[in-house]
Chain A
């Protein structure tokens, strides 16, 4: 009974606290502008099945794909055992599904055990890849400090989760023989039915009960801890990868989004607009184009930033990064998420000092619309990084969950050129030549001189 009360209390705290943080993440994602989903939900679901559930793009690199596959499938399957742990925890029963499912239960637990073993090995391999083999993509400058620790903490947490399962099932297997009245038979499971007796056989019943309970509580407490840790971790991809893949762009990678407001303006300048179209009101502020901050991006871009698990495949194929330039597509995503977090935290303070100066007299409540802390994405993303991009789409192609760093880079470039009228001076003659001569170079010849 005490255990039931304790379980209920821990669950309530974990869910309410975790839930609050997930709501904040939702709020932060919605800091972005509306995303147009010129829709084709069939193609979107296909992506979810193939790329999210099917992990299709992970298999561009076989070794991590296989080990990640173990951890991922184990994660999916263990959810079934988690449901049972919940039922047992709340109603004070033991292995609720065992008598109901019978042989299927044996099969289920066996699969979970085998997958857990695979996940355990996978996790050790991943720890080794990060810390012993020092795979280059895990050791780029943006990975220093918290991101590196975060990556390792997750893996240690996974080991604890699996250790919990092994203790729980192993001790239970012995208890089924010692005290069959209280411990429902699970049938001969794949691992615990023989490893359990091998490791825990011959122990006092009291000790066995202790180990079983330790395993059970360890597993569920780490699950609750994860739930509350995820909102602060790159590991959030275990949930957000799915919506991110669903909402990812469907158009060809090479296609940049049109800017209808500029098209309209240019059409009316060139006399191409429909007759009698309204002129842009002159008294209005000059509008800003492109993006300088998270609030100018689409919410789909911010969702992508929160979905990024910092694997660095994008950076490892980026031609600029490979040749020693500062640009790292992964850093673009990490900076976007950090900035969204920063804005979110400042909005939480409700402090009027973050209201745009000119609005402070008239508006008393801080909102995302009147927010201004004097900072932008450009405080963390330098122009040098943006200018180094060749728009080659290698990063987009590399991402296993369809994150598009190029989209953000191009929106920031548009801000620099269109709103700040800045940018590399080398580009100015190119712009002028196109505008005045219709060619990318200043050329004396006719365009068809080559044919004469």
Chain B
């Protein structure tokens, strides 16, 4: 792995600087081996496009999303209020996240606790970088390839973002094939609502298998996702179906880095 220069908020503050945007990494992006690759990919894009950003580093905590959805408001409030203290201390105005769960909580739920920021998901920021000419992508590696896109619940139905990720894929010049259930009808990967952290209730099937089968039915060789938990669930699904060699599950940021050859 090449070394990556990632600015920390505290260092910038010590130098009297305030970045334009804070990159909220999230637990998965920080600790999950697969999601770390997405984090690094996104940082590469931020670096290459000269974006003025920083991360909180050790000062970042879990947003509290799974605790709140499990029902544990006490744990949620503790971690959320701590985060808001930190964010407000650095006078953060704008935040980008690679996790739609973090995105949803900071955007929609932190305001009631005193944390008001402009929050964007990384797919939206990527689109913005393209729109203002800082990021240029063209066909290349993925031109003509069949790709399907999995809507995460927390970017899609929870916040109504369906187009930014699709428009990115379009610019990668590949053939987007939609799954039977897509956009507002998209099927969950099975991880949300703190399901990621417990065993399934008895049933006929795992939800990620159901979704994986649907992705496989499109005949796509790449499944694009926008959420570290969906990434895990769908990758596990591909392994269970023994398709992990043929069908790759990538985050949109990885697709762009691949395309640019910034590896």
Residues on A close to B: CB < 8 A? 60, 251-256, 258-259, 262-263, 265-267, 269-270, 272, 289-290, 317, 319-320, 322-327, 384, 387-394, 396-397, 410, 413-418, 423-424, 426-427, 429-431, 433-435, 438-441, 443, 445-452
Contacts and interface: CB of A to CB of B under 8 A. Distances in A.
B207 A431 contact: no
Given A272-B85, A434-B64, A390 B193 contact: yes
Contacts of B188: 319, 390, 392, 394
A179 B67 CA distance: 77
B30 interface: yes
A325 B203 contact: yes
B76 to A, nearest CB: 8
Interface of B: 3-4, 6, 8, 25, 27-31, 36, 39-40, 43, 55, 57-58, 60-62, 64, 66-75, 77-79, 81-82, 85, 104, 108-109, 112-113, 153-154, 157-160, 181, 184-185, 187-188, 190-207, 209-211
A430 B57 contact: no
16 contacts: A252-B160, A254-B108, A254-B159, A319-B187, A320-B203, A320-B207, A324-B204, A325-B200, A388-B201, A424-B199, A427-B70, A439-B61, A447-B25, A450-B40, A451-B43, A451-B55
B119 to A, nearest CB: 12
Nearest to B158: A254
A262 B108 contact: no
Contacts of B195: 390
Given A251-B108, A390-B207, A450-B40, A256 B153 contact: no
A339 to B, nearest CB: 20
B158 A450 contact: no
B157 A387 contact: no
A7 B159 CA distance: 54
A450 B30 contact: yes
Contacts, number: 221
Contact of B113 (A258, A387, A427): A258
B39 A430 contact: no
Contacts of A393: 153, 157-158
A266 B77 contact: yes
Given A267-B81, A439-B61, A451-B6, A259 B73 contact: yes
Q: Max chain A CB contacts within 10 Å: which of B25, B58, B71, B200?
A: B71
Nearest to A325: B203
A327 B79 CA distance: 30
| In the A-B complex, the 6 residue pairs with the closest CB atoms | A254-B158, A324-B204, A391-B193, A426-B198, A438-B61, A417-B71
B135 to A, nearest CB: 21
B75 A272 contact: no
B206 to A, nearest CB: 7
Given A266-B77, A413-B69, 10 more contacts: A254-B157, A270-B81, A319-B211, A320-B207, A326-B203, A418-B71, A424-B199, A438-B61, A441-B31, A448-B55
B197 A440 contact: yes
A410 B210 contact: no
A451 B4 contact: yes
A26 B111 CA distance: 34
Given A390-B190, A391-B192, A434-B79, A255 B39 contact: no
A255 B104 CA distance: 7
Contacts of A269: 78
Contact of B73 (A270, A320, A418, A424): A418
B75 A435 contact: yes
A128 to B, nearest CB: 25
A343 to B, nearest CB: 24
B193 A266 contact: no
Contacts of B108: 251-252, 254-255
Nearest to B184: A397
Contacts of A452: 3
Contacts of B6: 448, 451
A423 B200 CA distance: 13
A151 to B, nearest CB: 25
Contacts of A448: 6, 8, 25, 30, 55, 57-58
A323 B67 CA distance: 24
A252 B153 CA distance: 12
B51 to A, nearest CB: 16
B55 A263 contact: no
A405 to B, nearest CB: 13
B62 A438 contact: yes
A26 to B, nearest CB: 31
B238 to A, nearest CB: 17
B209 to A, nearest CB: 8
A431 B71 CA distance: 10
A382 to B, nearest CB: 10
Contacts of B82: 270, 438
Nearest to A413: B71
Given A289-B73, A451-B4, A397 B81 contact: no
A331 to B, nearest CB: 14
Given A413-B70, A418-B72, A324 B55 contact: no
Contacts of B74: 262, 265-266, 418
Nearest to B68: A256
Contacts of A430: 66-67, 70, 194, 197
A114 to B, nearest CB: 33
Contact of A262 (B66, B73, B201): B73
B68 A387 contact: no
B158 A431 contact: no
